[in-house]
Chains A and B, each alone.
Chain A
Amino acid sequence: MEQQVIVAHDLKKIYQMGDVQVQALAGVSFSVRQGEILAIMGPSGSGKSTLMNILGCLDRPTSGEYILDGEQVAKLNDDQLASIRNRKVGFVFQSFNLLPRSTALANVELPLRYAGVGKERLERAQASLTAVGLIDRMYHKPTELSGGQQQRVAIARALINNPAILMADEPTGNLDSKSGKEIMELIINLNKERGTTIILVTHDPSIAQHARRVIRLRDGLIVEDV
């Protein structure tokens, strides 16, 4: 039997907006197997971002259970969550979020610095850059790279700790269609070669079609899971 990477049970998130309580997630339950590609879709206000934040351990649910790669994370404190993010989650953002003054190599090895990895840092960062095909640009700064290349650096950074899941939030949103396609191919290949579990958060159906499974959200609830 394949291992369950994500087990979410009755996740609820309630925000306090002044006097009004806003229910962003109204009880979401699902599970994700190792090596799956999952797309989370939904219009804005559907709770899509909230779910992504909770799955990526950036935020805690108000109630419910969330088990990521065998660890209960719903009740952890800030520093424990930071450690989980560091070891088990790789993020790819729409706007790349690279450190502008650091080289590609320095950007990629940043998670290892926070993990306290010393000697093998350089080696692993180079290996990760090789995996995304940018080893010859490792001393370039983000401003000297194209959008597609920057996103590749971001993917290399997300992969460096061999995370259990790769969270990609509109990974092609800031790219032209050609680079967007290349990035998606890269992500799909990573899934094939390494078996990395991938969660795509998007409202673009052409991105979602790469996923074998799509979860649609509306008003904080799952309306479709195919």
Chain B
Amino acid sequence: MNLAQAALEAVESLTSNKLRSGLTILGIVIGVAAVIAMLAVGTGAQNAITGSISGIGSNLLFVFQGNFTETVRNVQPLTLADAYALKDEFLAPSVAAVAPVLQKSLTITYSGEQTTAQVNGVTPDYKSVRNYTLTEGDFITDENMLGQSSVVVIGPEVADALFNRREGLVGETIRIEGQPFRIIGVLASKGGSSFGSQDNVVMAPYTTTAQRLIRRSLDRVDTIYVQAVSPEDVSSASDQVAQILRSRHRTNLGADDFTIFSQEDFVSTANTITGVLTIFLGGIAAISLLVGGIGIMNIMLVSVTERTREIGLRKAIGARKRDIMIQFLTESSLLSLFGGLVGIGLGWLIAFGVGQIAAASNTPFTPSVGIDAILLATLFSTAVGLFFGIYPANRAASLEPVEALRSE
């Protein structure tokens, strides 16, 4: 008997008891759907996080004060002078631009409307370092810096909150903590990120911010963004920045009082977290697939008992051991294969639903069902059917024809 015939007979046998077959594959359907959905959500989360990290800018290094991994005494703050020192093209040839930032969440008002946004005290370089573009007006200039002008560039979310529009805002005056600032530009939307919205921001000249909005002692800055000249230079830029800061802070080797992160560090950290999460969720889903497999085994055993007489008859008219084996293995594999296919569809629907919910709640997050996940689920579910079918099939094949024929 060849496989095509066996498959045909198996389909006949399975469709003759549709309810039972349907309930049996339900376990596999749920298992595969769970695996597919979990993998899709995991991949989607990973893509979203990676995307938002690379959206911050390109070839970026982030310099923070303090050591994140070890305890260091006498931590010196990062200062504006540190930031300027990093712009040394002889000591730091790999550094393209440096942007020190002061950051604080402040209340912003405009004729009765009020919102809270992240106020950034920035230098003109900040725009190119962070990849911001403007929909109208200009970014902060050196003249603004020198004159400590009361001017701001606002993000689109701030514009929405205060004006309900994003155009024609240049020249309006908003108040930050009660102090008037004139709008000179509006940022283009960059979308959300895992570091909070990049659109709910207000940019003011560094000098003005330090004087009037965010007062820090000794010219302290919160973060220094450093842009490397090219992706290949990110690590050498990191070394050069570290070298300069060490000599300026007179720290001992191995006890830096600052921390440098690259975008890659963030991406790989995020990938590790989402990877572990995906494996964890997928593992739980795989357990339900296992339970589904046991369900198949259970039903196949019942089926063998029920059909003992049929097996005896088949043997009496010339079926060999492997003919019976193939018959039952085909049935269990087909059950789980079909369950797997339905499960893929259901899993895809679930992933799609999660994506829709995420979109409805303004989270840019698209679960993606990869072809690898589909192949994996199909193969795995068929393998589950085969594996859990072996014992019942073997039991059927080993029946003695005389005994089997005698059974009622």
Q: Which residues of B contact A53 (CB under 8 A)?
A: 402
Interface of A is mostly: helix
Interface contact B5-A113, CB-CB below 8 Å: yes
Q: Which of B50-58, B308-316, B341-349 contacts A (4 or more CB under 8 A)?
A: B308-316
Interface size band for B: 20 to 34
Tell me, yes or no, whether A87 is within 8 Å of chain B by CB.
Answer: yes
Does the CB pair A58–B321 fall under 8 Å?
no
A161 to B379: give the CA distance in the assembly, Å. Answer: 40
**In the docked arrangement, what's the CA distance between A115 and B314, Å?**
12
A97 adjacent to B320 (CB under 8 Å): no
Query: Chain B contacts of A116 at CB under 8 A?
Result: 1
- Min distance, Cβ B328 to any Cβ of chain A, angstroms: 15
Complex contacts, B309 vs chain A, CB 8 Å? 97
B 289-320 to A, binary, CB cutoff 8 A, 1 in contact else 0: 00000000000000000000110111111111
A101:B321 contact, CB within 8 angstroms: no
Alpha-carbon gap, A102 to B318, bound state (A): 18
A53 to B402, CA, bound (A): 7
Known: A82-B315, A113-B5, A114-B1. A97 touches B405 (CB 8 A): yes
Is B318 a contact partner of A58 (Cβ separation < 8 A)?
Answer: no
CA distance A81 to B333 in the complex (A): 29
Asked if B402 and A91 make an inter-chain contact with CB atoms under 8 angstroms apart, the answer reads no
Chain A min CB distance to B325 (Å) = 11
A59 adjacent to chain B (CB < 8 Å): yes
Known: A53-B402, A113-B1, A114-B1. A85 touches B12 (CB 8 A): no
In the complex, the answer to whether B318 meets A83 with C-beta atoms within 8 Å is yes
List chain B residues, Cβ under 8 A from A91: 316-317
| Residues on the A chain within 8 Å of B405, using CB | 58, 93, 97
A176 lies within 8 A of chain B by Cβ: no
Closest to B312 in A: A97
B16 touches A86 (CB 8 A): no
B125 on interface, CB distance cutoff 8 Å: no
Given A93-B405, A97-B309, A101-B13, answer yes or no on A82-B320 (Cβ-Cβ < 8 Å).
yes
Given contacts A53-B402, A58-B401, A58-B402, contact A114 B320 (CB under 8 A): yes
Q: Which residues of B contact A97 (CB under 8 A)?
A: 309, 312-313, 316, 405
Residue of chain A at shortest CB distance from B1: A113
**Of the residues A78, A79, A102, A114, contact of B317 by C-beta under 8 Å:** A114
| A219 to B315 Cα, complex, angstroms | 28
> How many Cβ-Cβ contacts under 8 Å join chain A to chain B?
61
Smallest beta-carbon distance A154→chain B, Å: 10
Closest to A95 in B: B309
Inside 8 A of A161's CB, which chain B residues have their CB? 318
Indicate if the CB atoms of B317 and A85 lie closer than 8 Å.
Answer: yes
Chain B residues closer than 8 Å to A114, beta-carbon distance: 1, 314, 317-320, 323
User: Known contacts A111-B317, A114-B323: does B401 contact A99 (CB below 8 Å)?
Assistant: no
Q: Is A42 located at the chain interface by the 8 A CB criterion? A: no
Cβ contact of B16, chosen from A83, A101, A157, cutoff 8 A: A101
A110 beta carbon closer than 8 Å to chain B: yes
A91 to B319, CA, bound (A): 13
Shortest A81–chain B CB gap in Å is 9
Q: Kindly supply a per-residue 1/0 record for chain B positions 34-55, scoring 1 wherever the CB is within 8 Å of any chain A CB and 0 otherwise.
A: 0000000000000000000000
A82 touches B319 (CB 8 A): yes
Say how far A76's CB is from chain B's closest CB, in angstroms.
12
Docked CA distance A102–B16 (Å): 10
Judge whether A79 and B321 touch: CB under 8 Å.
yes
Q: Which residue of A lies closest to B309 (CB)?
A: A97
Q: Which of B5, B13, B310, B316 has a CB less than 8 Å from the CB of A58?
A: B316
| Docked CA distance A16–B323 (Å) | 29
4 additional contacts (CB under 8 A) given A85-B317, A97-B405: A58-B401, A91-B316, A97-B316, A157-B317
* 22 chain-A/chain-B pairs, Cβ below 8 angstroms: A58-B405, A59-B400, A59-B401, A79-B322, A82-B315, A82-B319, A82-B320, A85-B317, A86-B318, A93-B313, A97-B309, A97-B316, A99-B313, A102-B12, A111-B318, A113-B5, A114-B1, A114-B317, A114-B323, A116-B1, A157-B317, A161-B318
Residues of A whose CB lies within 8 Å of any CB of B are 53, 56, 58-59, 78-79, 82-83, 85-87, 91, 93, 97, 99, 101-102, 110-111, 113-116, 157, 161
* B interface residues (Cβ-Cβ under 8 A, vs A): 1, 5, 12-13, 16, 309-310, 312-323, 400-402, 405
- Nearest first, the 5 A-B pairs at minimum CB distance are A86-B318, A114-B318, A97-B313, A82-B320, A111-B317
